[in-house]
Amino acid sequence: MSAMLTLENVGMHFAVRPDHESGQHTVFDGINFTLNEGDRLGIVGRNGAGKSTLLRIMAKIYAPATGTVTWAPGVTVSLLSLGLGFKNELSGRDNAYIAGLLQGLTKNDAKQSISSIEEFCELGKYFDEPMNTYSLGMRARLGFASALLNRASVLLIDEVLSVGDKEFREKAKIALKDQLTHKQAIVLVSHSDTHLRDMCNAVRSLNDTSLVMRENTGPALVE
**Among residues 152, 163, 27, which one has the least CA distance to residue 79?**
152
Question: Residue 132 Cβ, how far from other proteins at the closest point, in Å?
Answer: 9
DSSP for 29-98, please give it.
EEEEEEEETT-EEEEE--TTSSHHHHHHHHTTSS--SEEEEEEPTT--EEEE-TTTT--TTSBHHHHHHH
Q: Does 220 bind other proteins (CB under 8 A)?
A: no
Question: Residue 208 Cβ, how far from other proteins at the closest point, in Å?
Answer: 21
Q: Does 75 bind other proteins (CB under 8 A)?
A: no
Half-sphere CA count of 73, side-chain side, radius 13 A: 0
Q: Which residues does residue 33 pair with via DSSP β-bridges, in sequence order?
A: 7
Site for other proteins in 89-128 (CB under 8 A): 89-90, 94, 97-98, 101-103, 106-107
Q: Does 25 bind other proteins (CB under 8 A)?
A: no
65, 101 contact by CB (below 8 A): no
Identity of the residue, 86 or 217, whose beta carbon is nearer to other proteins in the bound complex: 86
C-alpha distances out from residue 213 to 12, 41, 47, 66, 201, Å = 20, 11, 18, 21, 12
Question: Residue 197 Cβ, how far from other proteins at the closest point, in Å?
Answer: 26
**Among residues 33, 93, 21, 25, which one has the least CA distance to residue 57?**
33
Find the distance separating the first CA and the last CA of the chain, reported in whole Å.
Answer: 14
Question: Residue 100 Cβ, how far from other proteins at the closest point, in Å?
Answer: 10
Q: Does 79 bind other proteins (CB under 8 A)?
A: yes
Q: Does 18 bind other proteins (CB under 8 A)?
A: yes
The correct pick among 61, 174, 220, 222 for binding other proteins (CB under 8 A) is 61
The correct pick among 31, 41, 59, 96 for binding other proteins (CB under 8 A) is 59
Give the span between the Cα atoms of 114 and 186, in whole angstroms. 25
Identity of the residue, 14 or 34, whose beta carbon is nearer to other proteins in the bound complex: 14
Q: Does 130 bind other proteins (CB under 8 A)?
A: yes
The correct pick among 3, 8, 14, 66 for binding other proteins (CB under 8 A) is 14
Half-sphere CA count of 99, side-chain side, radius 13 A: 29
Identity of the residue, 43 or 79, whose beta carbon is nearer to other proteins in the bound complex: 79
Q: Which residues bind other proteins (CB under 8 A)?
A: 14-15, 18-19, 56, 59-63, 77-79, 81, 83-85, 87-90, 94, 97-98, 101-103, 106-107, 130
